[in-house]
Amino acid sequence: MARGGWFRRPLRNGNRPAPVPGDLWTKCPRCGEISFTRDLERNLKVCPKCGYHHKLTARERIQMTVDPDSFEEIDAGVCSLDPLGFPEYAEKLMRAQQATGLCDAIVTGYARIEGYPLLLAAADFAFMGGSMGGALGEKVVRMMERAVRERLPVVVFTANGGGARMQEGLFSLMQMAKTSAGVALLHREAVPYIVVLTDPTMAGVYASFASLGDIILAEPGATIGFAGRRVGNQDLGVKLPDDFQTAEFQQRCGMVDRVVPRREMRGTLALLLGLLAEERAHAE
């Protein structure tokens, strides 16, 4: 064998290996299965081996859920400010905006699912962990007020790792009360409000608009709760069940109405929107 053996063997395409894009393969964080990213995307980013639901961006979520070309974004320019002049916050915001192409951690707009019109919000975990600052709360509430004015049902996909965005201090915490008041307005005006909890939905978001839906769905295996598992174990000194704070656990405890696999989500939402539309037609 020539010097260098296998590693020096000339390649057919002029001695240069074909470039391999870094995102050609995706590894499942749960079972380690390595899938072709393209195949995984065709499978709605659900691991073919263990059923793990990979995180989605807000745009991916919307594209998978609504009728083609039916999404019309609103309030795209509502961005968080840096009211406290918190060290490095402005730079972090700018980096998150550049990385995601979003102004903040949620996208809202008009859409249709199987022809049923609605207002929809999708949170984006890739934008600072989906944390809730002033812009996120404002966008959610503006959408809810629009839903009341235009008598449209609301569907919100949540995704949030750390609750309120600490860099905005009280301005962030206030969004819990503000978004809860938004939901109260929907309830008072009899506008249907459906929440889909995706992995993870925690802390201030869970303790406000995410847990207040008329109907609460969740994706399989999603982590859902207020304080994390470690806080429970250490501070309460109790042994928690293995599936503590999963979507399935929350369904058993009555906090989630139904765990719905991603492949069935669009159909389930269409069914619910259809029933609600029928109900409304009877009432009028």
Closest to Zn ion by CB, 31 or 84? 31
CB of 201 to Zn ion, least distance (A): 21
For the record, the structure tokens of 206 come out as: 């869970």
* # binding residues, Zn ion (CB under 5 A): 8
Q: How do 224-225 and 154-160 pair as beta strands?
A: unpaired
Residue 43 in contact with Zn ion, rule: CB under 5 A: no
Closest to Zn ion by CB, 47 or 205? 47
Q: How do 193-202 and 224-225 pair as beta strands?
A: parallel
Element (H, E) at 218: strand 215-218
Of 226, 194, 190, 186, nearest to 213 (Cα)?
194
CB of 51 to Zn ion, least distance (A): 7
SS3 content of the chain, % helix, strand, coil (to 5): 40, 20, 40
CB of 221 to Zn ion, least distance (A): 10
46, 47, 128, 217: which one binds Zn ion (CB under 5 A): 47
25, 33, 162, 261: which one binds Zn ion (CB under 5 A): 33
Q: Which stretch binds Zn ion (CB under 5 A): 46-54, 99-107, 150-158, 246-254?
A: 46-54
Residue 99 in contact with Zn ion, rule: CB under 5 A: no
Residue 30 in contact with Zn ion, rule: CB under 5 A: yes
* Contact call for residues 165 and 125 (beta carbons, < 8 A): no
C-alpha to C-alpha distance for 218 and 260, rounded to whole angstroms: 6
Q: Which stretch binds Zn ion (CB under 5 A): 17-25, 51-59, 79-87, 248-256?
A: 51-59
E-strand stretches of 59-164 = 72-74, 106-113, 116-123, 154-160
CB of 27 to Zn ion, least distance (A): 9
Residue 31 in contact with Zn ion, rule: CB under 5 A: yes
Element (H, E) at 203: helix 203-206
Q: Which residues bind Zn ion (CB under 5 A)?
A: 28, 30-31, 33, 47, 49-50, 52
